[in-house]
Amino acid sequence: MSTLFHGGRKLDSDGQVDDFWMIVDGDTITETGSGQAPDMAATSERVNVDGNWIVPGFIDLHGHGGGGHSYDDSADDIRAALATHRAHGTTRSVLSLVANPIAQLRASLAVIADLADEDPTILGSHLEGPFLSEDKRGAHNPAYLKAPLPFEVEELIGAGRGSLKLLTLAPELPGALEAIDVLVEAGVVVGVGHTDADFDLTHESFNRGARILTHAFNAMNGIHHRAPGPIIAAFEDERVTIELILDGQHVHPDVAGMAFRGAPGRIALITDAMAAAGSSDGDYPLGTLNVTVRDGLAVLRGTQTIAGSTLTQDVALRNAVEHASVHPIEAIAALTAVPARALGLEHRLGRLAPGYAADAVILDKGLQVQRVWANGSPVG
């Protein structure tokens, strides 16, 4: 059974195509074009995009949960959190785990490995910790932060059974550069983050194989004219993808706009969402810590420390276009082709083209989500 999408305006990293059509067969886009759509058999389904935008499904490299649920918890919690984000256009997710004892992280990695086996929209897991700087810990429990020991790194890689895709570490920790070697060798993408690293150490980390700057500007040294720090090291390095939380609170929209101009084609808009995303204000756990959410801002209870976001990727898209003056094609790329490439999945995800996964979002003229397809299936 194939589906013909027609009458839309396509927007992806290749650019804009008006009067766009595409044919989806199962989980894959098989044909695309513009103008007169091909005659389809009477059994085929037709979706009239009706002059709206059609864009690839969003890919979130970094999120902790949503809809009242966390990726650190049970398989049912994970499914519920994913469903919340899917309704906001996120069709593929890397599931981020906060710092916890190694044994608990291994158990969480095993849960995600099982889920990823059965659900192709789960791209794998991201260990955000425990190998982080205590000074830049943000909302990670300092009791669980530590320097990487080689056998622990091996155990974590093993527990993921191939599904550990990303690991964020602070390269100044003893053994961290050696850990980068081991992780890269195992096919894990390494992010530099929650770190006190300077320009030189960050540059060295990228030369060792690290390829992501984890939520740029947050939980790291800023840009100083005599101490350029990790952000400039990432701007200068064409190999590196720069994560950005564009919720209007983690990074000022004008700084976000500067990042897009400073590293064209290398900004990945992530959510870093915690359980309150797509849910209501109130009290939530984040790992073992308590978080209060008021007016959508999540902070560690009783402090001013931001503790993840309540962002969804459709909101990040609108913030980029409306508040950070990012061109819509660049903004869409930051949600699709850029994160796909960061994971080495640029031949299957992130574009509306033949051979690509049938992940698509229809957006109205105000960039509000109308309908979503994930892996060929309609959502909701």
Q: Which residue among the candidates 272, 295, 314, 359 is catalytic per the annotation?
A: 272
Reported for 177-180, long-range contacts at CB under 8 A and 24+ positions apart, including other chains, are 177/204, 177/205, 177/208, 178/148, 178/150, 179/131, 179/148, 179/150, 179/153, 180/205, 180/208, 180/209, 180/210
For 5, 89, 305, 373, the CA distances from 316, given in Å and listed in that order, are 25, 11, 21, 19
Strand ranges across the sheet with 297-300: 282-286, 289-294, 297-300
For 51, 78, 203, 245, 251, the CA distances from 232, given in Å and listed in that order, are 41, 35, 9, 17, 16
345, two tokens: 């999945």
> Residue 28 is which amino acid?
T
Please indicate whether residue 272 is annotated as part of the active site.
yes
Beta bridge partners of 372: 361
Distant-in-sequence, close-in-space partners of 196: CB < 8 Å, separation ≥ 6? 133, 135, 136, 170, 172, 220, 221
Beta bridge partners of 6: 48
Reported for 365-373, long-range contacts at CB under 8 A and 24+ positions apart, including other chains, are 365/52, 365/53, 366/318, 367/53, 367/314, 367/317, 367/318, 367/321, 367/328, 368/314, 369/87, 369/88, 369/89, 369/314, 370/52, 371/47, 372/57, 372/86, 372/87, 372/89, 372/91, 373/24, 373/57, 373/91
- How is the chain split among helix, strand and coil, in percent rounded to 5? 30, 30, 40
Contact 264, 235 (CB under 8 A): no
The residues annotated with a catalytic role in the active site are: 272
